[in-house]
Amino acid sequence: MKNIQIAPDNPGCKFTCFTGQASIPERFFTLISWTNCVFLLLALSQGVMLANAKDVASPPVATNHEVNVAAPANSNQANLIQAGPLTLEVIPQYMPIAKGTTTLNVMLRLKAAATNEVVQRPPLDLAVVLDRSGSMAGDKLRNAKQAALDLIKLLTDQDFITLIAYDDKINVYTQHLAANAEGKNKLRRVVLNLTDGGSTALGPALIKALGIIGDSAHTTNRLQHIMLLSDGLANVGETSSDVLGKRAKNGFNRGISISTLGLGTDYNEDLMTHIADQGGGRYHFIADTAAISGVLQTELAGLNATVVKGLSLKISLRGGINITKVFGYPIESKNDDSKITVGWMHAGQTREILIRLTLPATLDGKIEIGQVSIQALDTQHSDANISGKTSINVEFSTDTPKVAAGERTEVTVRVAELEAAEKMEDAAKAVEAGNFDQARKTLQTSLSQTRIQAVQNKSDKLQQQVRELEQSLNDIDAAQHSYKSRKMYIKGNKNMNYYRLKK
C-alpha cells in the first residue's frame, strides 16, 4: 500500500489523505516521512512537546495581559504583536498603497512559539465518534476498530475518553472514562465487539458528543476534542449543515474543538468540512480506510503539542472599510466587528490567514484603517486568557515606483496560491454538476494566470501550483468517463483547496 499526504502544514507528520489505489492521481499527495512521524508520536504520546534547537524562539511572554505594538518606523514593515506563546504579524500587500486603491489584501501571520522545554500538557478529554452503519461493513469497520485500538494505546493515565458509535441509533459506551490500565482494557473490549448496523445518524451522534464533552463538571483545565468519523451521508435525525455548523460553533465557544474524518468517496465532504471549520478543528479526506489509524494518531500528536486553544481573531475597521473575503476560515460579523475562528495551534506552527478589504477611493496619507485582536486560552498555564491588539496601518502614495518597491511579495504569492486553489475547487464543483467544459475553461484560465505569476515572482510554490493545475486539467477526461474517478476527482480537488487555505 502507498501512504500519501495532501499539503501538510507540518511536513513529515501529517496524515491527511491516504490511498492504496494506483489509479488515483498522485498530484494530490506528498510522501510521508514515517521516521519523523513515529518519533513525534512516541514523544508526544507521553504528554510532552519537543522542538529542534534551531527552531527555538524566545520564551513566551506572560499570559493574561495585553501587549500592543506600535507601527514600525519603517512604513513598509508589518505590525507585530506578541501575546503569550503567539506572535501575530499584520502584513498589507503593499506599503505604501497607490492612492485611489479600493481593494487591499492583508495577510495575518500567526506563529506559535517553538520550545526546547519539556512541558506537561493538560489532560485530554477526548470523544471518538465512530460510524458503524451498514456501509461500514467489512474492511472499513475492521480498520476503524484497529485505529481506535491504536489510539487507545497512546493515551496517558491522565486522559479521559468518551466512546460513541452510531448507525440509526446512538450508543454511548463510555463517558469521561479514565484512560488508565483498567479503562483501556474496558475500551478494548467495547471496540472489539462493535458490529455494523443500519443507517447514519451522524448529526445526533455529534450533538450527543458535544453534550457529554461540554458537561460543566468535566471542563476544568482539559483539552476537549471530538473526532467524528463517517463514510456516508447523514440520513437520520438532524442533517442540516447550517444547524450542525451552529452546534459545532457553540461547542467551540465553550472550549470544544472538532475534527472530522471522511472515509472513501460516498460521504458529504461539504458537511464534514463545515463542521470542522465551525468547530475549530481539521477535516481529513481518507481514500483508503487502512490509513485511519495514522490520521487518528496525527490528530492526537497535534493535541499533545497544543499551546493555545479557542483561538480567534477580532477585526475592527474604520467606517467605510469592509471585509469582502476571508480565505478558508469562517467569519461572523456583529455590529462593527468581525471574528475569525482559528481553533488551536501547536508548538512551532504557523498559519497564514488572508483577508481582502474594500477601501474608499478618497483615503489619503498615513492612517490606521483598523485593528486586529487576539483572543485565546494558554493550555500550558491553566487555560489563562491570552489577549493582544495591534493596528492595521497603511500609507497612500502617488509615487508609482515607491508603491512597486513596497510590495510584500509573500502576500502576492499567497494570494495567487489561494486563488488558484479555489479555481480547482470551482472545477470540482463544475465536474460534480456535469459541466466538464466549464471545468476545463476554469482551469485553463487559472493555469495561464498562475504561470505568469510564477515567473514574475520566481516562486517555487506557484510552480508547484502550475503542475497541480495541469494535472487537474488532464484528469477531467477520466472524471468524465468514470463515476469512480469523478468522485475521487471531486473530493481530491476540494481537499487540496482546503489544505492550501488552512496552511
> For 212-243, how does the pLDDT look when each residue is reduced to its tens digit (9 = 90+)?
999 866 666 889 999 999 999 999 999 999 99
User: How many Cα atoms sit within 13 Å of 287 on the Cβ side?
Assistant: 29
Write the pLDDT tens digit of every residue in 69-128. 434 434 445 588 999 999 999 999 999 999 999 999 999 999 998 876 545 678 999 999
415-451 as b/e, with b when 16 or more CB fall inside 10 Å? bbbbbbbbbbbbbbbbbbeeebeebbebbeebbeebb
Residues shown for the chain: 503
Q: CB neighbours of 89 closer than 8 A, spacing ≥ 6?
A: 78, 79, 80, 107, 108, 109, 111
Angstrom distance (rounded) from CA 422 to CA 414:
12
Residues 6+ apart with CB under 8 A from 324: 103, 356, 357, 358
pLDDT 10s digits, 447-474: 999 999 999 989 999 999 999 999 999 9
Adjacent-strand bridge partners of 170 = 166
67-72 long-range CB contacts below 8 Å, 24 or more apart? 67/388, 68/388, 68/389, 68/390, 69/390, 70/391, 71/391, 71/393
pLDDT digits (tens, 9 = 90+) for 17-54: 444 443 334 444 333 333 333 333 333 344 433 333 33
pLDDT of amino acid 236 = 94
Q: 256-263 and 331-334: which strand pairing?
A: unpaired
More confident residue, 8 or 177: 177
Whether 65 has a pLDDT exceeding 60, the answer reads no
- All three cell numbers of 188: 478494548
Does the pLDDT value for residue 57 go beyond 60?
no
Beta strands in 320-359 (DSSP E): 322-326, 331-334, 337-346, 350-358
C-alpha 40: how far from chain center: 20
> For the residues 422-429, what does the mean pLDDT come to?
94
Region 176-192: mean pLDDT is 96
Is it the case that residue 277 has pLDDT exceeding 70?
yes
Q: Which pTM value belongs to this model?
A: 0.82
pLDDT, residue 15, reads 34
Average pLDDT over residues 269-273: 95
| pLDDT band of 398, cuts 50, 70, 90 | very high
pLDDT in tens, 324-353: 999 999 999 887 899 999 999 999 999 999
Average model confidence (pLDDT) for the chain?
A: 84
Phi and psi at residue 457, in whole multiples of 5°? -100, 0
pLDDT of amino acid 455: 94
As given in the structure block, the three cell numbers for residue 110 are 500567526
pLDDT at 18: 43
